[in-house]
Structure 1
Amino acid sequence: MSGTTELHLGDLGERGIQEHVLRPRYGDTEGFGDDSAFLAKVTTPSELVATTDSCPTPVVNLLAEPDLYHAGWLLATINLSDLAAAGAEPLGLVVNYTLPKATTVREFERLLDGVDDCCTEHGTKVVGGDLRDGAATQLTATAIGRCVPGSRLRRSGARAGDRLLLTGSPGYLWAAALLATGRATLPASERDDIWRRACRPMAQLKAGKVLAANGLARAAMDVSDGLFATVRTLGEANGLGAAVSGDFDLGEPLAQVCAQAGLRPFDLAQTWGDWGLVVAVRAEDVALATKMVREEGVAVQEIGTLTADGGLTAGTAPWRGIAQERFSASSWHGGDLSTLVPEVLSIPA
C-alpha cells in the first residue's frame, strides 16, 4: 500500500485494512472474505492433522531492530514444525492477529511478509484468519496438514535400542546471540550467514515427510524447548531413557564461535530456537534414513540411543540439560540479553 508508511491500523479501521492491505495480498485465495477457510480438495486417502501455537518474542528482535517480519516468520515456523513432527504435508495456515491500533500499516505489512515468505519457503500459504485490536500484540496460528494413511508420527512408538537422529542445523540462533554480545567474532560474510539462518529457522517438513512415508521413523518430536527437553519427553512417552553423544558436528563457523566463547559444540547444539526434529529409527534403518534425509537437502546426524534404564546421559555423565519449559523459571518471555545468554548457555556472566 503506497504512501501509507505513517498510517496506523486505527486510522484505517477493519474495513479499510481488509480492502487496502489484505485484499491486495490475499484476494486471489479461494474463500477470501468468507467465514471459513478453504484448504484443499482431497482426492486421495489421507489423514488430517492440526496444530496451533502462539509466537513468543523472537530472540533476534532483542539482537537488532524489533522487526515484525521476524515474528511473522517464526509464527509460521513454529506451527509448521509441529506438522513436520507428524510427518505431514501442510495444507495451509490460519492466522489470528491481535494488534494495537497504533501499529503502523508498514509494521503490519512486515508481519504479513514474514508469515507469507515462510509459508512460501515451506510450500504452503495463509488460507484465512482473524484480525482484532488489543492493548498488546498477540500472534497465533493454526496449521493443518495431511499424512499418508497409517504414516502419522507420534511421540510414542519407539523401542529401546532405537537410534536418535537430529535433522536440521542446530546452534545458529544462539551463535548469533554470542556474536551480537561480543563473546565471539567472525568475518562479515560468516556473521551475515549465521544471522540470516537465525532469523529464518526452517521447519523440518521434508525430513518428517520422507521418513514417515517410507516407514523409517518410529517416533518424532520437534526441538521447540531445547534438545534436552525433547529427548527427555520422547523418552518419557515411551518409558525409556537415552544415551546421547557428547560429540556434535555443527560445521566450521559455529565451531569457531564455540571455541571463542569457551563452549563445546554440544553446549550450542542443545539450545532451542533452530527448530530441528528428533526422530527415533531402528538401528538397522539409520543408514537408509540418513541417506534419504540428505537427498532432500537436509542436514542430519545420529545423536544417541534410546535405553531401557530410564536415565539420561550425555557422553559419560548424567545429562542435566537446558529446557525452555513453559510455566517455569526458564519459560521464554524475552528479557535482557546480558543475562539471557549466560543463562541459556550456562556460561559465566
Structure 2
Amino acid sequence: MSPREEQDTVHPHQPAYSDEPTRVRQLVSEFLTDQSGTSLGGDGLEVRLTAGADARDDCAVYDLSSPMSLVVGSDYVRGPKFVLYELGLLSGFDIGYYLAVANISDIAAMGATPIGLLSVVRYPHEVDDAEFREVMAGIHQGCTDCGTLNVGGDIGNAERIILSATAFGVCKPGSALMRSGARPGDLLCVTGPCGLLGAAVAYFPRRDTFAKALPEEVERRLLDGWKRPRARVAEGRVLGTKSYATACQDTSDGLKATVEQIMQASGVGFRVYEDDVPVDPAVAMVADLMGAEPLALAMSASSDFQLAFTIDAGDLEKCRAEFDLAGLDFFVVGEATNTGRAESVNGLGAVRPLPGVAWKHQKSDISLLVTDPVED
C-alpha cells in the first residue's frame, strides 16, 4: 500500500500534509513512471530519454543521435495575480495544466517538437496532499496532451503557490522559426481567434457590476480557454518542417503585442484588415458588456496560444493544403509593409493604429486593463 493510500485509509475525511520527500515519492510513483528509455523527437530526429524522472537522479538525460537544434524556453506563470484562481474559478489541476501548455507553446512557436518539461512547484504549508496532487496531475496531463513528458524539476515550500517551468524541443538545424524573418509583401496569418483568455479576466472579476451576466454556456466557454488551452504544436511543425513561415510567434501576450513584436524584430510594418480578423462570439459579448469594441478586445492583452506567422504570398495555397491535410486551419489577417508601422484598415478603407491594449508587463493585473472604448 502506498503512503497516500495509507493516509486515506487512516484519515479518510481529513486532509493529509506529507513532508516533501513523501510527496516526491508519491509524485514519482503516480505521474512520472516508465519514462526512461522513451523515444522522442520526430521528422527523422532521434531522441531518447535515457534517464527520466523515474530514475530519481539530479537531472534527466537525453541521447541525441542525429544533428539537431535544441530549443529551450522558460516561463513563470503563477504568482499572486492569477486572478481567476484567486476567485476560485480555476482548480489546482487547471493551473498545473496551464503551466505546461504555456511553456510548450513557446516550443511550438519555434516549429520544434517538444521533448520534455522541467517544472518548479512551490507551495505554502496549508496546501494539503490532495491539492498538491491536483497541481502535479494538471502538469502531467498538459504534457501528455502536448505529446511530451514532465521529466522533473523542483518542489518545495513558499509563501504561496508559485509555478514556473522550462520546456525543451528539437528541430532540424536551421529550421527554427524566428520573429525576425518577415518581409514586406508577406501575408500575416493567425491560427485562430484571439482574446478569449483576456476577455475572461476582463469579465469575471467585474461580473457583478455588469447590468446582466452572460449565459452559462458563454461563461463556460470563457473559462475553458484557461482550463484547457492548447499549444499549437501540430501547426508549428507544419510551418517549420515545410519551411513555410518566414516569422512566427505565439500570441501569449495578445495579438496586438505579437504583431508589434514581429514587426520590431523583422524591421517591417504591418497592415491588418479588420474584417478578416476572427473574433470569438464570447469575446464580442464581453466587449458589449464593457462598452468596448469587439476587435479591440480580441487584439488586446490575452494569454492565448494561437500562432501568428508570416508567409510568402506565393506559398499560401501550398501552406493551406498542408494545414487542410492535417485537419488544421489558419486565417490570413493582413500583410507586411515597408512602413515600419502597425496599423489596421476597415472595410471602408479608413486606416488607424492597431486597436486594443498590448500586454507589456504592466504593474497592474491584466484584469484592470481597459480596452479602447467604442467611439460614437
TM-score, structure 2 as length reference: 0.80
Aligned equivalents of 2:364, 2:233: Cα separation in 1: 25
Matches within 5 A, 1:83-232: 83-177=107-201, 180=204, 181=207, 183=210, 186-232=214-260
- Determine which of 50, 57, 68 is the counterpart of 1:34: 57
Aligned equivalents of 1:70, 1:62: Cα separation in 2: 12
Q: Which residues of structure 1 form unaligned runs of 5+?
A: none
Partner SS, residue 245 of structure 2? coil
Q: Is the 8 A contact 1:224 1:273 kept in 2?
A: yes
Counterpart of 1:250?
Answer: 279
Q: Is the 8 A contact 1:6 1:104 kept in 2?
A: no
Counterpart of 1:324?
Answer: 359
The count of corresponding residues between Structure 1 and Structure 2 is 336
Matches within 5 A, 1:271-290: 271=300, 272-290=302-320
Aligned equivalents of 2:84, 2:163: Cα separation in 1: 16
Q: Which has the larger radius of gyration?
A: 2
Are residues 1:52 and 2:69 paired? Answer: no
Q: What letter matches 1:245 in structure 2?
A: Y
TM-score, structure 1 as length reference: 0.86
The answer to which of 50-59 and 211-220 deviates more is: 50-59
- Cα RMSD, aligned residues only: 2.6
Partner SS, residue 202 of structure 1? coil
- Determine which of 9, 12, 17 is the counterpart of 2:23: 17
Aligned equivalents of 2:363, 2:102: Cα separation in 1: 16
Partner SS, residue 114 of structure 2? strand
Higher relative contact order (CA 8 A, sep 6+): 1
Deviation of 1:88 (Å):
0.4
Spell out, residue by residue over 1:165-205, the C-alpha distance to the aligned partner (whole angstroms, 9 max, x if none): 11133232234346542656554344433432332211111
Deviation of 1:207 (Å):
0.9
Counterpart of 1:345?
Answer: 371
Indicate the percent of aligned positions where both proteins have the same amino acid: 31
Q: Is the 8 A contact 2:296 2:355 kept in 1?
A: no
Aligned equivalents of 2:199, 2:365: Cα separation in 1: 19
Q: Which residues of structure 2 form unaligned runs of 5+?
A: 37-51, 346-350
